[in-house]
Amino acid sequence: MGLDLDKINAELRHAAPEAIVRWALAQGLPAIASTSMGPGAGVMLHLVSRLAPSLPVIWVDTGYNLPETYRTAEALRERLDLNLQVYTPALTAERRQALYGPIPSIEESERHALFTRQVKLEPFERALAEHRPALWLTGIRREETDFRRGLDVVTRDPRGLYKVAPLFHWTQAQLEDYLFEHGLPDSTRYFDPTKVHAGRECGLHSAA
């Protein structure tokens, strides 16, 4: 029997992120968290480290991150003692570039779709196959993209996962205040070549 998402979202809409994480964990379902290690990632990771320190945290490292992202990721892993599970593409960035050429522009729709599958979707699908979660904690927020405005705190992913977003209704200002309050490392520069700009989806959350 599935969860009553309308009722659950009505109850959680004004709940604190900590309460939402606790609710998710109380469902007793096999769970993972995910992170992009982008700006503000430390907020979600801090919540997970406090409330579910052994929870697998999936990071798909495309191989194309900026040096600052890698340094911030390592600082967060050490500071929060995360159970960080890093998944990388089957092809290294150097090998992929030699075989398929440089990062395609988003205007090259077919080449860019293949690139996204190679460096982001396939590693994430491998993580799902290995961990077999029923519940996925994610740091997505409503204000980030048009697609995410159509979601809610708890949604059913097309892959069958219950996707729980404890920070869904938070603003950028709230993220920054939390980072400052807890002295968390954060990236000020970030680039995801599968998205290119902040208003696009890379496919992890919009995959059918």
- Report pLDDT digits (tens) over 70-90: 999 999 999 999 999 999 999
- Report pLDDT digits (tens) over 44-72: 999 999 999 999 999 999 999 999 999 99
Residue 171: its pLDDT value, please?
A: 95
* Predicted confidence (pLDDT) at residue 29 exceeds the cutoff of 80: yes
Residue 93: its pLDDT value, please?
A: 92
d(CA 202, CA 110): 14
168 and 142 Cβ atoms separated by less than 8 Å: yes
Quickly list DSSP for 28-77. ---EEEEE---TTHHHHHHHHHHH-TTS-EEEE--S---HHHHHHHHHHH
Residue 146: its pLDDT value, please?
A: 87
Residue 202: its pLDDT value, please?
A: 75
Residue 148: its pLDDT value, please?
A: 87
d(CA 159, CA 70): 29
* 202 labelled catalytic: yes
- Report pLDDT digits (tens) over 123-177: 999 999 999 999 999 999 998 888 889 899 999 999 999 999 999 999 999 999 9
What pTM was estimated for this model as a whole?
A: 0.93
- In sequence order, the β-bridge partners of residue 164 are 137, 154
Active-site hit among 202, 203, 205, 208: 202
